[in-house]
Amino acid sequence: MREDQGEIEAAATHALPRLIERADLRGDLHVHSDWTDGKATLEEMALAAQAAGLDYLCFCDHSQALAMTGGLDPARVLAQIEAIRELDSRLEIRVIAGIEVDILLDGRIDLPDDILSRLDFVTASIHSGFHQSRDEIMKRLLTALRNPHVDSIAHLSGRLINRRAAYEVDLDTVARTAAQTGTFLEINGSPDRLDLDTASARRAVELGATLVICSDAHRPREFANLDAGVAEARRGWVSADQVANTRPWAQLKP
Ligand SMILES: [Zn+2]
Ligand SMILES: [Zn+2]
């Protein structure tokens, strides 16, 4: 917090927040498996999440538009839901069926509503059209935020550290809309992303948005990304009550 962003003044009036800690996280809501571009099975990932001290794990593999990752079409989504239910029935950790669904170039969501409604958690994200104008990007994000099936927006800015700049986002409008619709904004703990960045995370919670901190793990060791995500949140002055996955799964959604 020692970045000359008001911390001295806050400390002088005993108004520093109690920052979130890694131990506050109860679950992870964005990981992949070998059903798409992950490198481990559903069971290997679930056991790794349990070993990382989590109570629940939500798989959010890619949707069909990301063909190069083997993204899931409707039939494979339904098959994966069955596989996840079977796993959940025999493991100690709660295992949940979600999707990382693409926000298409025109703002449409990459899977039909009747498929989204079968899933327990839907995170939506942009993986294409990075050179679109700010207006075009915002139209896509606002459409996704207002979709009642969408629970969370992943890696909002699209930046890949040292490889790809963020596209232009009107963060204040996104955060205000997310606060209204009850859609979560993700801090993605992948070291390539750390997205939301520190300033955006702080601003988003100031405007009333609720965050989630996720690993985007593609292999078991990447649950360590949660540590980086929590560090990012702490630099953004985020407290545990502003992060939804500090709650038990049954109380996660507003
Ligand atoms: Zn993604
Ligand atoms: Zn992902």
Condensed to tens digits (0 to 9), the pLDDT of residues 160-186 reads 999 999 999 999 999 999 999 999 999
Q: Give 192 Cα–ligand 2 centroid separation in angstroms.
A: 12
Instruction: Locate 248 and state its tokens.
Output: 């038990």
Q: Give 94 Cα–ligand 1 centroid separation in angstroms.
A: 23
Which tens digits make up the pLDDT trace of 68-87? Answer: 899 999 999 999 999 999 99
- Pick the residue with more confidence: 67 or 39? 39
For residue 10, is it within any domain?
A: no
Checking DSSP bridges between strand 94-102 and strand 121-125, what pairing results, if any?
Answer: parallel
Q: Give 247 Cα–ligand 1 centroid separation in angstroms.
A: 23
Q: Give 19 Cα–ligand 1 centroid separation in angstroms.
A: 26
For residue 2, is it within any domain?
A: no
Predicted model pTM: 0.97
For residue 99, is it within any domain?
A: yes
Q: Give 72 Cα–ligand 1 centroid separation in angstroms.
A: 14
For residue 45, is it within any domain?
A: yes
Start-to-end CA distance of the chain, whole Å, equals 29
Taking residues 197-205, what's their average pLDDT?
97
> Percent of the chain at pLDDT above 70?
100
Cis peptide bond upstream of 196, omega within 30: yes
Query: What value does the mean pLDDT of the chain take?
Result: 97
DSSP symbols for 4-72: TSSHHHHHHTT----B--GGG--EEEEE--TTTT-SS-HHHHHHHHHHTT-SEEEEEEEBTT-GGGTPB
Q: Give 16 Cα–ligand 2 centroid separation in angstroms.
A: 33
How many CA within 13 A on the CB side of residue 178? Answer: 31
Q: Give 228 Cα–ligand 1 centroid separation in angstroms.
A: 17
For residue 208, is it within any domain?
A: yes
Beta bridge partners of 36: none
Contacts of 158 by beta carbon, 8 Å cutoff, 6+ apart = 126, 130, 164, 166, 167, 195
pLDDT exceeds cutoff 90 at 154? yes
Burial of 170 (0-12, 13-18, 19+ CB in 10 A): middle
Q: Give 2 Cα–ligand 2 centroid separation in angstroms.
A: 31
Instruction: Locate 129 and state its tokens.
Output: 């059209």
Containing domain of residue 88, as a range?
A: 18-249
For residue 50, is it within any domain?
A: yes
Q: Give 218 Cα–ligand 1 centroid separation in angstroms.
A: 11
Per-residue pLDDT, 90: 97
Tell me the CATH number at 238: 3.20.20.140
DSSP 112: -
Residue 39 CB coordination number (10 Å): 15
For residue 198, is it within any domain?
A: yes
Q: Give 60 Cα–ligand 2 centroid separation in angstroms.
A: 7
pLDDT exceeds cutoff 80 at 46? yes
> Taking a C-beta distance cutoff of 8 angstroms, is the pair 157, 188 a contact?
no
Rg of the chain on CA atoms, in Å: 17
For residue 5, is it within any domain?
A: no
Q: Give 246 Cα–ligand 1 centroid separation in angstroms.
A: 22
> Taking a C-beta distance cutoff of 8 angstroms, is the pair 46, 93 a contact?
yes
Looking at the 3D structure of the chain, how many domains does it have? Answer: 1
